[in-house]
A and B are shown apart, each in its own frame.
Chain A
């Protein structure tokens, strides 16, 4: 079975279709890999396969996806022991397509973080260098896929939480258009930004997974699905396509990362694409707006965790003391920090100055993308300004940590899709290249990413651990 380790999900599905391996054998192989994970990538691994298995290999789900009867804590102690009475629509969609839940992956608590060090349980190690972070917040999903401990995984992206860990772990990660995939059953961080997407070995797997994830869901009134088919990508050339470059001159961008991005731009041109700089005058304000809007929404989304109906309950029985002690014990520092920031930003007398202003910035960023996509087909940037950093390196400096999402934050603010593909190595660590497009341009993004992926020929998956 070990040949499965070398295969993409699509290839494994083909093997099952051909009858060369049974779905149960595939499941068992990956269950074994997941159970043997030493990176801290999993918070829960399935004991046995479900009664019905289809041809798609099993997937790892970020812990914040609710799965009926399965521990789903969003990486937080406050939801320790919570087993939801229902299953997220995205998970159900994959199950309906014949893929089983392999396990629940570690993450930054409530998806708040860029290194997975904010997990309420344990940090995750980067399979490329176990002294380094895998990125976050979908760090467990990215590390599991990169290490060959999951064939593929789902995560969520609020400010970069799929693309940045995919970049740091050398895999493909895609944030679809807001509304492409149902949010029902995704434990919310920032509702206007959160979006579910794939973390996969290659671009074809991302397309295969997205095709099954997406769809309008009557349980999520903000969901629309993606109009039209998501074909498996097949483009070999980029002729006639215009790529606008943003961010190569940004302060804080590592030289090694910039080099890989420049090499990738050259490959775009070799494939017939046109590369030109593009102005994103307000995108640099994205982080500031994000760190008002996301905490504001989170401050309301997290108000329900009080120890009464589910999850952790601390205290001595007095109601107020129970509330306080439960939150004291259950929430980590970053979560508490963001609840306080968000509560403050929404307070009477401060609302306009913070939340109101952040929304105005958001509108301007939407305008930036609109203007850019009048001139170019795709916007390309580094995914992360740096390669994977050392565990503990940025934990004392939240702002340095926040800067990890500089290039990924504008897209969720605009609701537009983007993919990160591994484009090369710097200091022996993977560098991600980001391709963003207009709303619902997933098929086009996947095609461009596919052509580029073949030209780059990135090797390095999986890294055996």
Chain B
């Protein structure tokens, strides 16, 4: 499927995404059991979510609230009155024999996120978790399978896009934007490995220029955006190979195995279920009141796409940096707090420090959960700008601030990390020139890069407290 082959260019991939988001409500969708990933199996259950005879579901108002927020994030049209249906299928992970979901009148329809149109947003309940014992980890070949009902009944929002995506990379990029958006709203943990964000892709290809859709395959089990991208790429390649050999694409569901980077069939159309949908008689329609809508609206934070745009236009940050700060909203929040503490100082330098040094130090953690104060970061960056501390010394200071907190000035003082003053530095530079006659020779012979040896000597001597640019200037002054 290399893009250099002319045959490959003859096909255009058409990709739509279906996302299941577990909402981080306190309780389950239709009962008052607590949610808890990783709890002891079958401890978060009750007669309702175990499907005991006579029990009835009651819609979780907070889940509706979150779903309304999600619909608003995509600027969807929210149904005045949406209803639940029973989706009937018999499987051990479904204790009632049906899943309560939404069908022909979903909570919201017709929105957009970035360049991608959103087809619909609806609420439903998650199934229980089947654990297959055995080497495959899948039902085929499992020695035994057990059910953990803790997950059963977790509130889910299903988001379906229109088939607007055209490449694996674009699909992954959209997934990241969606994840950042949901995370920013605080409606879900959006953790793909734990399954609180699950992404399926509908993939078809068609000859470039065609407008009708080809037969699609549904890809499941891609539990990272990297795997999503690879899975879609593999599926496009598979379909192209079939079409180029004159074959036809079967509508089927495929399971992506990241270990082997291959796709295998889960179920084919012949086994397609007839879900016998009908309106759930145990529940009343969701009819959002003005108060519910106002509350959802009021709870909406600035979303990543808008924030990135603001960072770019108002703070003149480079696009990539703006995007990073907006998509990792905890970094963005820290950055904005630091910026405000600095009295709106050098936003670019601060953004640079936040997205590079700080992001590297905290990894996936929230910088606000470390000892570092946003104001301290702002002061440190300002001191670097004023050359009161060298960049490399400042990194060391940042380590201390993240681990122990405190004021940068105090840390610098305490550890002697302040920039060497010019008379001290001049002396050190002169000694370094005297100690490195070979390098001086080479520089004079036109080998400019030999200056590195002298700079290195100065840095060693000053333990990184000197500003690299200043050192270079002093050396050149002297060597001419």
Q: Which of A199-207, A234-242, A305-313, A364-372 is near enough to bind chain B?
A: A305-313
Q: 8 closest A-B pairs (Cβ-Cβ)?
A: A303-B97, A192-B281, A346-B276, A191-B281, A187-B53, A66-B54, A185-B54, A348-B274
CB distance from A54 to the nearest CB of B (A): 24
Q: How many residues in B have their beta carbons less than 8 Å from beta carbons of A?
A: 27
Q: Is the CB of A84 within 8 A of B284?
A: no
Whether A303 contacts B90 in the complex (CB less than 8 A), given A187-B53, A219-B58, A309-B50, comes out as yes
User: Hey, which chain B residues are within 8 Å of A188, CB to CB?
Assistant: 53-54
CB distance from B65 to the nearest CB of A (A): 16
Measured CA separation A184–B54 after assembly (Å): 6
Known: A86-B52, A88-B54, A351-B278. 14 other contacts (CB 8 A): A66-B54, A84-B53, A191-B281, A192-B281, A218-B58, A221-B56, A222-B283, A297-B278, A299-B88, A300-B278, A304-B97, A306-B97, A346-B278, A355-B278
Measured CA separation A355–B279 after assembly (Å): 11
- Among B54, B97, B98, B283, the residue within 8 A (CB) of A221 is B283
B86 within 8 A of A: yes
User: Hey, which chain A residues are within 8 Å of B56, CB to CB?
Assistant: 183-184, 219-222
CB distance from B412 to the nearest CB of A (A): 61
B282 within 8 A of A: yes
Q: Is the CB of A221 within 8 A of B88?
A: no
**A57-75 interface bits toward B, Cβ cutoff 8 Å, 1 = contact, 0 = none:** 0000000111000001010
Q: Is the CB of A184 within 8 A of B278?
A: no
Query: Which A146-200 residues have a C-beta within 8 angstroms of B?
Result: 183-188, 190-192
User: Hey, which chain B residues are within 8 Å of A299, CB to CB?
Assistant: 88, 276
A343 within 8 A of B: yes
Whether A303 contacts B88 in the complex (CB less than 8 A), given A220-B56, A221-B282, comes out as yes
Measured CA separation A79–B51 after assembly (Å): 13
Measured CA separation A188–B55 after assembly (Å): 8
B95 within 8 A of A: yes
Q: List 21 A-B contacts (CB under 8 A).
A: A66-B54, A74-B53, A85-B52, A86-B55, A183-B56, A184-B56, A185-B55, A187-B53, A188-B54, A219-B58, A221-B58, A222-B56, A222-B283, A222-B284, A296-B278, A297-B278, A299-B276, A300-B97, A300-B276, A304-B53, A306-B90
**A82-112 interface bits toward B, Cβ cutoff 8 Å, 1 = contact, 0 = none:** 1011101000000000000000000000000
> Interface residues, chain A, CB within 8 Å of chain B?
64-66, 72, 74, 79, 82, 84-86, 88, 183-188, 190-192, 218-222, 296-297, 299-300, 302-306, 308-310, 319, 343, 346-348, 351, 355
Measured CA separation A38–B97 after assembly (Å): 38
B448 within 8 A of A: no
- Among B53, B57, B88, B96, the residue within 8 A (CB) of A79 is B53
**B259-294 interface bits toward A, Cβ cutoff 8 Å, 1 = contact, 0 = none:** 000000000000000101110011110000000000
- Among B52, B86, B97, B98, the residue within 8 A (CB) of A310 is B52
Measured CA separation A7–B274 after assembly (Å): 55
- Among B59, B95, B277, B282, the residue within 8 A (CB) of A191 is B282
User: Hey, which chain A residues are within 8 Å of B95, CB to CB?
Assistant: 304, 309
CB distance from B190 to the nearest CB of A (A): 29
B47 within 8 A of A: yes
- Among B52, B92, B96, the residue within 8 A (CB) of A84 is B52
Query: Which B60-101 residues have a C-beta within 8 angstroms of A?
Result: 86, 88, 90, 92, 95-98
CB distance from B148 to the nearest CB of A (A): 13
User: Hey, which chain B residues are within 8 Å of A343, CB to CB?
Assistant: 276
User: Hey, which chain A residues are within 8 Å of B58, CB to CB?
Assistant: 218-221
User: Hey, which chain B residues are within 8 Å of A303, CB to CB?
Assistant: 88, 90, 96-98
User: Hey, which chain B residues are within 8 Å of A74, CB to CB?
Assistant: 53
User: Hey, which chain B residues are within 8 Å of A82, CB to CB?
Assistant: 53
Interface centre among B53, B54, B57 (most CB of A within 10 A): B53
CB distance from A79 to the nearest CB of B (A): 7
User: Hey, which chain A residues are within 8 Å of B277, CB to CB?
Assistant: 346
Q: Is the CB of B47 within 8 A of A85?
A: yes
> Interface residues, chain B, CB within 8 Å of chain A?
47, 50-59, 86, 88, 90, 92, 95-98, 274, 276-278, 281-284
User: Hey, which chain B residues are within 8 Å of A310, CB to CB?
Assistant: 52-53
Measured CA separation A209–B375 after assembly (Å): 69
User: Hey, which chain B residues are within 8 Å of A184, CB to CB?
Assistant: 54-56
Measured CA separation A79–B52 after assembly (Å): 11
- Among B47, B86, B274, B284, the residue within 8 A (CB) of A300 is B86
User: Hey, which chain A residues are within 8 Å of B50, CB to CB?
Assistant: 309
User: Hey, which chain B residues are within 8 Å of A65, CB to CB?
Assistant: 54
Q: Is the CB of B97 within 8 A of A66?
A: no
User: Hey, which chain A residues are within 8 Å of B92, CB to CB?
Assistant: 308, 319
CB distance from A327 to the nearest CB of B (A): 11
Measured CA separation A119–B400 after assembly (Å): 77
Measured CA separation A300–B98 after assembly (Å): 7
Measured CA separation A237–B335 after assembly (Å): 81
Measured CA separation A65–B55 after assembly (Å): 11
CB distance from A340 to the nearest CB of B (A): 13
User: Hey, which chain B residues are within 8 Å of A309, CB to CB?
Assistant: 50-52, 95
Measured CA separation A146–B90 after assembly (Å): 42
Whether A221 contacts B284 in the complex (CB less than 8 A), given A300-B97, A303-B88, A348-B276, comes out as yes
Interface centre among B50, B57, B95, B97 (most CB of A within 10 A): B97
Measured CA separation A346–B273 after assembly (Å): 13
CB distance from B134 to the nearest CB of A (A): 15
**Chain A residue nearest in CB terms to B98:** A300
User: Hey, which chain B residues are within 8 Å of A221, CB to CB?
Assistant: 56-59, 282-284
Q: Is the CB of A86 within 8 A of B47?
A: yes
Measured CA separation A219–B277 after assembly (Å): 24
Measured CA separation A296–B284 after assembly (Å): 19
User: Hey, which chain B residues are within 8 Å of A192, CB to CB?
Assistant: 281
Q: Is the CB of A347 within 8 A of B276?
A: yes
**Chain B residue nearest in CB terms to A64:** B54
Measured CA separation A308–B92 after assembly (Å): 9
CB distance from A310 to the nearest CB of B (A): 7
Interface centre among B54, B282, B284 (most CB of A within 10 A): B54
**Chain B residue nearest in CB terms to A182:** B56
CB distance from A189 to the nearest CB of B (A): 11
Q: Is the CB of B52 within 8 A of A297?
A: no
User: Hey, which chain A residues are within 8 Å of B47, CB to CB?
Assistant: 84-86
Q: Is the CB of B274 within 8 A of A297?
A: no
Measured CA separation A76–B316 after assembly (Å): 72
**Chain A residue nearest in CB terms to B48:** A219
User: Hey, which chain B residues are within 8 Å of A79, CB to CB?
Assistant: 53
User: Hey, which chain A residues are within 8 Å of B282, CB to CB?
Assistant: 183, 191, 220-222
Q: Is the CB of B88 within 8 A of A346?
A: yes
User: Hey, which chain B residues are within 8 Å of A296, CB to CB?
Assistant: 278
Q: Is the CB of A72 within 8 A of B53?
A: yes
User: Hey, which chain A residues are within 8 Å of B51, CB to CB?
Assistant: 304, 309
